[in-house]
């Protein structure tokens, strides 16, 4: 039986067959077509506040995140194979929403959790502090965490109702995070004013807030420059400038990619969070999944023992 890899592009990825995850899938199929099959999720990612960008693990019912979850859910429920989820940036966020539904005993996809081999994400804004790869040696632990949460405005694993109480710690998600990737390795400390400012902005854009909390967030944003040292304000502006136009960095000019680690997971850029590494994140992910696939490529598909983790109330 083949292994299916579902790939989810980042914001601005108009073609489901392009992007870091898509390139991993393409290489897997080319290297071992008897084992791997590819389902590029054509969810047409968008960046409309409160609609396309998911904040909670459920969505109001409109927008590209909802569309992506529906497409993958329908296919996974009818798929007898082992499978892998892989996304980059916004697509990584969505793959982690799907992972929550798999891991949660009450989730729509929980019956398929024993057939999940791995989640491989690039530049996830939800990367929990201190979590990265588990399969590699010589790791350089990326500073900070995903840009979409901190101690005040929490959107990473284990921080809001509807998101799991604890991040996975046994290798089910591989978080690829380049050093200084503004989306996935926010340079600001998790409790700093700079991180508060960035997280407040992102929480507003990614929904889940009512009018009163909107006012609170805006008030906090207006207050931050007053209390942040001059270099801190510059840091906040720098992170916003780097993260906000990441679409341009990911699909724009070579110069834009050279300035943005969020756009450097494929060749010719070496993945920077492994000391002495010369391979790209895409190459490392492909090698890892080929190794994982080889363990499950023979014989009938059988359930893999997994832990169940309900969401908090």
Share of the chain above pLDDT 90, in %: 38
Residues of the chain whose pLDDT is less than 50?
A: 55-59, 158-164, 190, 208-213, 245-252, 310-313
Q: How far apart are CA 222 and CA 71, in angstroms?
A: 40
- For the chain, how many helices (H) and strands (E)? 9, 5
What's the confidence (pLDDT) of residue 289? 97
Q: How far apart are CA 296 and CA 293, in angstroms?
A: 5
Over the stretch 161-183, which tens digit does the pLDDT of each residue have? 334 456 676 789 999 999 988 78
What's the confidence (pLDDT) of residue 44? 86
Q: How far apart are CA 244 and CA 103, in angstroms?
A: 31
The rounded mean pLDDT for the chain is 77
Which helix (H) or strand (E) element contains residue 135? none
Q: How far apart are CA 98 and CA 81, in angstroms?
A: 17
What's the confidence (pLDDT) of residue 58? 46
Over the stretch 199-209, which tens digit does the pLDDT of each residue have? 666 655 555 44
Fold of 3-296: Rossmann fold (3.40.50)
Structure-block tokens of residue 112: 């398929």
What's the confidence (pLDDT) of residue 139? 94
Q: Is the peptide bond before 99 cis (omega within 30 degrees of 0)?
A: no
Domain extents for the chain? 3-296
Structure-block tokens of residue 75: 């296919």
pTM higher than 0.75 for the full model? yes
Structure-block tokens of residue 120: 């491989």
- Cα distances (angstroms) measured from residue 236 to each of 124, 151, 198: 19, 16, 7
Is residue 25 a contact partner of residue 5, using CB atoms and an 8 Å limit? yes
Can you tell me whether residue 4 is helix, strand or coil? Answer: strand
């Amino acid at each position: 039986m083949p292994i299916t890899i579902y790939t989810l592009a980042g914001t601005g990825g108009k073609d489901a067959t392009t992007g870091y995850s898509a390139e991993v899938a393409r290489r897997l199929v080319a290297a071992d077509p008897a084992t791997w099959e590819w389902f590029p999720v054509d969810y047409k990612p968008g960046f409309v506040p409160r609609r396309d960008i998911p904040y909670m693990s459920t969505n109001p019912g409109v927008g590209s995140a909802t569309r992506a979850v529906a497409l993958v859910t329908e296919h996974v429920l009818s798929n007898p194979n082992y499978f892998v989820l892989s996304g980059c940036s916004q697509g990584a966020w969505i793959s982690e929403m799907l992972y929550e539904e798999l891991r949660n005993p009450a989730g729509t996809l929980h019956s398929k959790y024993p057939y999940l081999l791995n989640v491989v994400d690039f530049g996830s804004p939800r990367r929990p502090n201190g979590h990265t790869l588990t399969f590699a040696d010589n790791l350089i632990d990326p500073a900070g965490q995903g840009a979409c949460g901190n101690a005040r405005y929490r959107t990473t694993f284990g921080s809001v109702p509807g998101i799991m109480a604890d991040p996975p710690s046994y290798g089910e998600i591989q978080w690829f995070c380049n050093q200084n990737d503004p989306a996935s390795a926010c340079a600001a400390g998790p409790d700093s004013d700079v991180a508060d400012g960035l997280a407040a902005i992102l929480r507003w854009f990614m929904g889940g807030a009512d009018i009163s909390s909107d006012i609170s967030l805006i008030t906090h944003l207006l207050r931050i420059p007053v209390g942040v040292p001059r270099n801190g304000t510059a840091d906040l502006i720098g992170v916003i400038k780097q993260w906000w136009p990441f679409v341009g960095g990911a699909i724009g000019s070579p110069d834009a990619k050279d300035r943005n680690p969020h756009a450097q997971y494929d060749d010719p850029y070496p993945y920077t969070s492994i000391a002495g590494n010369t391979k790209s994140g895409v190459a490392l992910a492909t090698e890892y999944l080929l190794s994982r696939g080889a363990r499950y490529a023979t014989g009938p598909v059988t359930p893999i023992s997994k832990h169940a983790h309900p969401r908090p109330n």
